Structure 1
């Protein structure tokens, strides 16, 4: 299916790198049943856990798409061949927890030493700044897939790196910055990615 942005530019989803198989066999752990799942899958499972237990009400935002070309290869099937995003996407998830409005973006990288900033768009940063202005909580969940490490990252960390990039600085954020300024959480079983524990720390430090 062909999808275009509102300005007509062709949408090209990021190509995921396939990690090389490990020769050394690792001991079985709680992550075994989650192999092959994306960060989005893990967050969706976590959100379902929160919702079922009345902890929080957080969902993935739907992306509005305008369909412009449909083909009907058979009477019982329709295939979308071309579509446009009606508006630029903002962030992946939003919702409420304990009276707080949460708005966040989820990103993952195969890079072991840094996070490429080309994974983030300017309008997403601006949207999250507007959320903070209204006393909401905005952050990123960054996963270093090969390392299996998760960092709940305040917008301020991403924004500072973004400003440096636009003024000619480096185009990625080193892993050591996340280690120093983000909250690292360990993947668990239920919930899989308990990011609310990091949100509690953000609130405590305000």
Structure 2
């Protein structure tokens, strides 16, 4: 019975399941490859702070996804935007029962390739974007993206949607909103040119985001700049 059961957890729900004893669960993509998280900022070494440094409200045991989820909850509560993390369809194929009161998921598969992390509506505009972290200090590797994700963003832009990527450089706790047009330009040249986007390009052609108290990541102020460019 369990081998055919399906459910649609978000990644935050998967984290809750993990705390219940699913640390050894193996999740596969539709092509059979095992899923492995790209980064885990929770366990990354944090830079030392000095008295003259600006207070950073982020990175208190939270991943970029957690920080964005908290920010989106703030936007929703204050009726500023409706933006949600997309659910990921997973099919369970193997479950163990070490105890009668506990079921341990040992193996599961992504039912289909995911598109982007978040989507929603803001000021009448459709938003669709990715959230990516990297430990690289000088560039953002393009292998953080899958081709179907970029194609999805290109299709959304063609229909008038606003697409972008929120990039976090974990070692320096820097955040940027990178417009999709910049990503597309480097993506198309990745086979003949460099396979990463230089941090200098991200900082000059993207928009820096400073952590705040509420919302934690005020990225919609940068989306306002993208909207102005469309007018």
Shorter chain as denominator, the TM-score bin is over 0.9
RMSD of aligned Cα (Å):
1.8
Query: 2: distance between equivalents of 1:175 and 1:28?
Result: 21
Instruction: Tell me the residue number matched to 1:118.
Output: 143
- Within the alignment, does 1:194 sit opposite 2:218 as a pair? yes
1:146 maps to 171
Answering whether residue 35 of structure 2 is matched by residue 11 of structure 1, we say yes
Query: Hey, what does 1:51 align to over in structure 2?
Result: 76
Structure 2: which 5+ residue stretches go unaligned? 1-24
Aligned residue pairs: how many? 205
- Residue 106 of structure 1 corresponds to 131
Shift of 1:116: 0.9
Cα distance in 1 for residues equivalent to 2:194 and 2:71:
33
- How big is the shift at 1:170? 1.0
| Alignment partners' CA distance in 2, 1:24 and 1:140 | 27
Q: Is the 8 A contact 1:30 1:189 kept in 2?
A: no
In structure 2, how many angstroms separate the alpha carbons of the residues matched to 1:11 and 1:34? 24
Which residue of 1 is the match for residue 203 of structure 2? 179
Query: Against the structure 1 CA distance between its residues 19 and 5, is the aligned structure 2 distance closer, same or farther, given a 3 Å change threshold?
Result: closer
Partner of 2:26: 2
The C-alpha deviation readout for 1:38-57, integer Å capped at 9, x for no partner, is 11111111101101100011
Question: In structure 2, what is the equivalent of residue 78 of structure 1?
Answer: 103
Report deviation, 1:16.
3.6
Aligned to 1:111, the other structure's residue is in SS state: coil
Distance 1:39 1:99 in 2: 26
TM-score, normalization: structure 2? 0.83
Deviation at 1:204, TM superposition (A): 0.6
Match of 2:184 among 159, 163, 182: 159
Aligned residue for 2:19? none
Identify if the C-alpha distance between structure 1 residues 27 and 80 changes in structure 2 by more than 3 Å, giving closer, same or farther: farther
Q: Give the unaligned 5+ runs of structure 1.
A: none
Structure 1 residues 12 and 22: CA distance shift in structure 2, 3 A: closer
Name the CA distance, whole Å, in 1 between partners of 2:145 and 2:54: 32
